[in-house]
Amino acid sequence: MKNGTHIVLVVEDSALIRMGAIDLVRSAGYEALEACDADEAIRILESRDDIDLVFTDVQMPGTMDGIKLSHYIRDRWPPVKLLIASGAAIIGASSLPSGSQFSSKPYDDHEIIDVMTRLLASDGMSFTKVPD
């Protein structure tokens, strides 16, 4: 959190979807950062200590997909909240790290804002699937 504002890192390889997610994060009142793949996301996380939530796609090019990225983040930066989205796959809770949430694409903007708000307000590590 910086200056009382939560910081959300959006990781999405599709520029159009990434821009929409950035707008969504900002409309919710959060500061948004962006990365086009897991490698860029990790570089950003390594350079900052104020990222509160990572909102990542599952399928993307590079050295790891969004599931592997979310596990890597959970292991290296445990306090960071995780919101994982996919239009191609339904991911079960057993595949996700603790404290993360999954949403199917296309997602409802209000639903995603509600999930981000709940994640950022929580200090627990419980899993709740976002309704389809």
pLDDT for 98 equals 84
Taken as a whole, the chain contains a residue count of 132
Please report the pLDDT score of residue 31 as a whole number.
Answer: 97
pLDDT of residue 89: 66
Structure token pair of residue 62: 């590079």
What is the structure's pLDDT at 92? Answer: 64
Cα angle value 25/117/50 (rounded, 5°): 65
Q: How far is CA 46 from CA 5, 59, 80, in A?
A: 20, 22, 13
Q: pTM for this one?
A: 0.87
The pLDDT assigned to 22 comes to 97
Residues with Cβ within 8 Å of 82's Cβ and at least 6 positions away in sequence, in order, are 53, 54, 56, 70, 73, 74, 96, 97, 99, 100, 101, 119
**Which CATH superfamily does the domain covering 7-121 fall into?**
Response regulator (3.40.50.2300)
- Per-domain residue ranges for the chain? 7-121
Low-confidence ranges of the chain (pLDDT < 70): 2-3, 89-94, 123-132
- For 25-47, how does the pLDDT look when each residue is reduced to its tens digit (9 = 90+)? 999 999 999 999 999 999 999 99
